[in-house]
Amino acid sequence: MFYNVYGKAPAAKGFSLLNTAPLKENAFSFAPEPDRDMIYQVRALLGGPFLYEGKAASITVRPQDFIPSRPEKPDALAIPGGIRLIWPSNPETWVTGYRVYRVAGGAPRLIGFTAVPTYFDEGSSSGTYRISAVGSVAQGPLSSPVSVP
């Protein structure tokens, strides 16, 4: 079986084909629209002497649905050469990475990005940190602070 994926903005009259050729797999990856809701349909190409598309239900995808949750239970440990931060992976499978912040004077300041739920702050021996998960559309809320005295 083959598939086509269509999309449109809620106010648009018709759907636009998003894939360039019929899909053989039951998966399709693309970046969601970051600034507006979109409606999508996946239509099966049905066999026979002529290929035709079956009926499909629509699904609405809203950008706010792709804001990751707050990283939970961060931990920090002073080790030789710096501070190692570690936290459990976010439950959202579409998280692209994590931003790490050091809190100075009450305000978080971005110090790095990592694709995995661990970070090494080289050269530091103490500090307070917060982490935020990053999705394809937006960054999620900051974790609770974690400190190394």
Residue 106 has a pLDDT of: 87
pLDDT tens column, 94-131: 899 999 999 988 899 999 999 999 999 999 999 999 99
What CATH code is carried by the domain that includes residue 121? 2.60.40.10
pLDDT tens column, 43-88: 888 766 566 777 788 999 888 888 999 999 999 999 999 999 999 9
Length of the chain in residues, anyone?
Answer: 149
Q: Taking the model in full, what pTM does it have? A: 0.69
**Among 19, 34, 64, which residue terminates a domain?**
64
DSSP type of residue 80: T
pLDDT tens column, 1-55: 788 999 999 999 999 999 998 888 878 877 777 778 999 999 888 766 566 777 7
Question: How far apart are the C-alpha atoms of 64 and 129, rounded to whole Å?
Answer: 26
**Among 64, 85, 118, which residue terminates a domain?**
64
Token digits of residue 102: 């050091």
Residue 22 has a pLDDT of: 87
